[in-house]
Amino acid sequence: MKRNFNVPRQTSFIKPEVQNPFSHRLNLSIVDKIKIAIMSVTIAPIRMILAGLCLLLAWPLAAISVAFLSKEDKQKPLSGWRNWLRPFVLMFCRAMFFCVGFQWITVRGKRVSCQEAPILVVAPHSSYQDALCSVFVELTSVVAKAEAIYAPIFGTFIEFTQPVLVRREDPDSRANTIREIRRRCQSGGLWPQIFIFPEGTCTNRSCLITYKPGAFYPGVPVQPVCLRYPNRMDTVTWTWDGPSAFTLLWLTLCQFHNYLEIEFLPVYVPNEEEKKDAKLFANNVRDVMAKCLGCPVTDHTYDDCRLMVLASKLEMPMEAGIVEFMKLHKKLGISYDQLNKYLEKFHSIAERKSKSITINEFAEYLHVPQSSALEEVFAMYDRDGSGSIDFREYVIGLSLVSNPANTENTLKMAFKLFQKENDYISEEDFNTVLHNAFKMETEEIHKLFEKVDSNHDGEISYDEFKNYATKKPEYAKLFTTFQDQTVENGQPDKTKSE
């Protein structure tokens, strides 16, 4: 009789509604390709030259504005003649985007002053062309990586905004960034608003991913700003998996018109609970913006992108690494480093370039043939009943099924299942149990025995057995499942009788 396991399948662990917010594909029709070909030899080159000219005119003005600033001056907002150049820098920057093709910018709502909301929270972040929104709000301060200010030309514009710099190599960077944001927010309006993309990375705008809490730690009012690109062809979205930046720029130049909508929502004033809990504050602001945009929210983060890159290096499909990291972290306490190791292990089980594990691969990895016990364990991992296990299901299965079962008692029980009278497992005993339990052939059993017998003395000690089983926690649930089936079928439980 086959038993049904009541493994918890919380709705929080169901596959995400948005499978991969970090992928973007362009499907060009014949008409699109003809239009691009014509524009590429007519309008696009002219636009590129004009946009470049505007950029070169704006750059020296921005460079002069921040030239020879002392360390003390950098701790203060630009003022005097340095700030008088701002309208001219903005004029050339807006002209540059106009030349690129953004002639129509629709603005809804009203931007408030920095006294009312010191922080502008902007989403979704999907492109380097989102910089147009920053230009529209007068190149107000941004949060940027410290190395960004050293980028040719564009680094000068970032420096012109007097950014809050993030130094990732500095272990105190996160605390320093929060401290600087708080200092500016509490300046009484002396500093300009801080322009922040709380998602921290680009998506395809199909959802709003987890907001980083940095913008919300100060506990001050924020003004949400929603971005939309209502274009028939999306030549804007620049994600981890998709067309290159230059390809997107050229395709944008080849469009007759490019549209951008900027919507300023009412100021969100945090309550006392939100002031104490930045993550709650961030989630509630995200919900408001998602409602306005009409899109779902997910628990994907920048760490999902890093896992995508790792999957690619392992020659697996990039989407194999998408797991909604924040959700798994909150529910299972799994760190990014653990997921890194799990992904490498997942890859060692799955066939090369595959993004899922079949029961055949699962059996091959454990060096056992398919059996009812293996099928039941596999079904616990296969949470959507698809007949295969993706990376997310594998992580959940290890955490909810295998790891809790991989205890000292379970391993001792399994060891006793194999041994007879001695304190070790002989190959004969090993052969007898595995042949009866899983119908394994002698040759297969011998190969597995040699793997477990690490010192190759012809005997498996408990320590050797434990070391091997610990490296493959999937075995633990297989042991207990087989033992339960043995008892149900009326066969004596050797481990208990002893």
In this structure, what are the phi and psi dihedrals at residue 107, rounded to the nearest 5 degrees? -120, 130
Higher pLDDT, 211 or 370: 211
| 222-280 pLDDT per residue, tens | 999 999 999 999 999 999 989 999 999 999 999 999 999 999 999 999 999 999 999 99
Buried b / exposed e along 50-73 (16+ C-beta atoms within 10 A): ebeebbebbbebbbebbeeeeeee
pLDDT at 176: 86
User: Which strand (E) or helix (H) includes residue 259?
Assistant: strand 259-264
pLDDT band with cut points at 50, 70 and 90 for residue 15: low
| 107-124 pLDDT per residue, tens | 999 999 999 999 999 999
Residues 6+ apart with CB under 8 A from 291: none
Residue 484 predicted with pLDDT over 70: no
d(CA 128, CA 308): 20
Look at the alpha carbons of 15, 17, 22, 25 in this order and tell me if their dihedral is positive or negative: positive
pLDDT at 450: 87
3-state secondary structure of 76: coil
Q: Which of 271, 269, 235, 266 is nearest to 251 (CA)?
A: 235
Percent of the chain with pLDDT over 90: 47
Look at the alpha carbons of 88, 91, 97, 100 in this order and tell me if their dihedral is positive or negative: negative
Look at the alpha carbons of 388, 390, 391, 396 in this order and tell me if their dihedral is positive or negative: negative
Over residues 24-37, mean pLDDT: 93
Q: Which of 152, 108, 100 is nearest to 131 (CA)?
A: 100
Over residues 443-460, mean pLDDT: 85
pLDDT at 486: 55
Residue 7 predicted with pLDDT over 60: no
Higher pLDDT, 461 or 198: 198
Percent of the chain with pLDDT over 70: 90
Residue 325 predicted with pLDDT over 60: yes
Domain 301-403 matching CATH 1.10.238.10: the answer reads: yes
Look at strands 259-264 and 222-228 and give their pairing.
antiparallel
Domain at 408-497, CATH class: mainly alpha
Residue span(s) of the chain under CATH 1.10.238.10 come to 301-403, 408-497
